[in-house]
């Protein structure tokens, strides 16, 4: 049991928390706009990459953090205007799949420019030094990742259920035309959802960079597993994103430890198919309401 917790459960929960944070960001934007942002993984990598560039230019670390966040929000809102809002709740998935994938490719190419695509060590995040807790070895960065997932999920659920802007966004998600008829702005709701997802991406980027080398191509990997976590938990469900991310992380780590790295995708997608057989809309998903 100790070996399972040390080699599979703890690392799996840490990695799964990253998938969960990406899935939460997917859920935030999808709930409002009906769009899955396949460029989100690249936005995650933009945060640490922008900090590295700013620090390399001689700026203090705290200014680099502020500047990187400002850049992320600017890029995110530009993407929202060009690749998300035109397809908001349109029901035509092919359009937004192509538009967000296009943004992903552009960002990946731009992120590769500063260091010619080479991996860089990020020393401005949370410590990844190994510590012992209750007889198990982990790191502050790994612990922070799980805490961040729980905190971000709880904060967003409170926002959507207890605040006026959150309730307005939920109204827009339920009925775009009806929400606009009572004065809720489609553009503002989409911009708010994108900004929230970008803030989640910023947190995720720091956590990712604290435990591994910063590589532009890493964003695509996280997008892939984050989407699987979203699908497993249920599209648009924050609670589902949280659970789906942790499940995907633990299952993939267990498959890698006890079988072989080649079985990771087999185990993850096998579980996803099993979930869909039992719950076609995911663990926490709801069947869409059809208008007649």
Question: Which pLDDT score is estimated for 228?
Answer: 94
Q: For 162-178, what is each residue's pLDDT tens digit?
A: 998 899 888 887 777 78
- Tens digit of each residue's pLDDT (9 = 90 or more) over 87-129: 887 767 888 899 999 999 999 999 999 988 889 999 999 998 9
SS3 assignment for the chain: CHHHHHHHHHHHHHHHHHHHHHHHHHHHHHHHHCCCCCCHHHHHHHHHHHHHHHHHCCCCHHHHHHHHHHHHHHHHHHHHHHHHHHHCCCCCHHHHHHHHHHHHHHHHHHHCCCCCCCCECCCCCCCCCCEEECCEEECHHHHHHHHHHHHHHHHHHHHHHHCHHHHHHHHHHHCHHHHHHCCCCHHHHHHHHHHHHHHHHHHHHHHHHHHCCECCCHHHHHHHHHHHHHHHHCCCCHHHHHHHHHHHHHHHHHHHHHCCHHHHHHHHHHHHHHHHHHCCCCCCCCCCCCCC
Q: Per-residue pLDDT tens for 233-244?
A: 998 899 999 999
- Tell me, what's the pLDDT at 289? 54
> What local confidence, expressed as pLDDT, does residue 292 receive?
44
**pLDDT tens-digit readout, 37-86:** 999 999 999 999 999 999 999 999 999 999 999 999 999 999 999 999 88
Evaluate if residue 12 carries a pLDDT over 50. yes
In this predicted structure, what is the pLDDT of residue 91?
66
The pLDDT, as a whole number, for residue 148 is 97
Please tell me the pTM assigned to this model.
0.94
């Amino acid at each position: 049991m100790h070996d399972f917790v040390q080699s599979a459960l703890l690392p799996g929960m840490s990695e799964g928390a990253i998938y969960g944070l990406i899935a939460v960001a997917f859920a935030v934007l999808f709930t409002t706009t009906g769009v899955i942002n396949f460029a989100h993984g690249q936005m995650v990598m933009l945060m640490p990459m922008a900090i590295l560039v700013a620090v390399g230019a001689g700026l203090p670390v705290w200014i680099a953090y502020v500047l990187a966040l400002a850049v992320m929000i600017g890029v995110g809102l530009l993407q929202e205007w060009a690749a998300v809002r035109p397809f908001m709740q349109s029901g035509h998935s092919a359009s937004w799949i192509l538009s967000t994938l296009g943004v992903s490719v552009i960002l990946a190419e731009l992120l590769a420019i500063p260091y010619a695509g080479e991996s860089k060590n990020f020393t401005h995040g949370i410590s990844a030094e190994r510590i012992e807790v209750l007889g198990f070895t982990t790191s502050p960065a790994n612990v922070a990742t799980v805490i961040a997932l729980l905190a971000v999920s709880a904060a967003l659920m409170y926002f959507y259920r207890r605040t006026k802007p959150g309730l307005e966004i939920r109204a827009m998600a339920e009925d775009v035309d009806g929400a606009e008829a009572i004065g809720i702005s489609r553009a503002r709701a989409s911009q708010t959802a994108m900004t929230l997802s970008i803030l989640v991406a910023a947190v995720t980027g720091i956590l990712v960079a604290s435990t591994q080398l910063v590589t532009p191509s890493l964003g695509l990997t996280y997008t892939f597993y984050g989407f699987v976590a979203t699908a497993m938990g249920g599209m648009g469900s924050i609670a589902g994103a949280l659970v789906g991310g942790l499940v995907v992380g633990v299952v993939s780590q267990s498959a890698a430890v006890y079988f072989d790295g080649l079985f990771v995708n087999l185990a993850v997608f096998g579980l996803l198919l099993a979930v869909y057989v039992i719950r076609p809309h995911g663990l926490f998903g709801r069947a869409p309401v059809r208008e007649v």
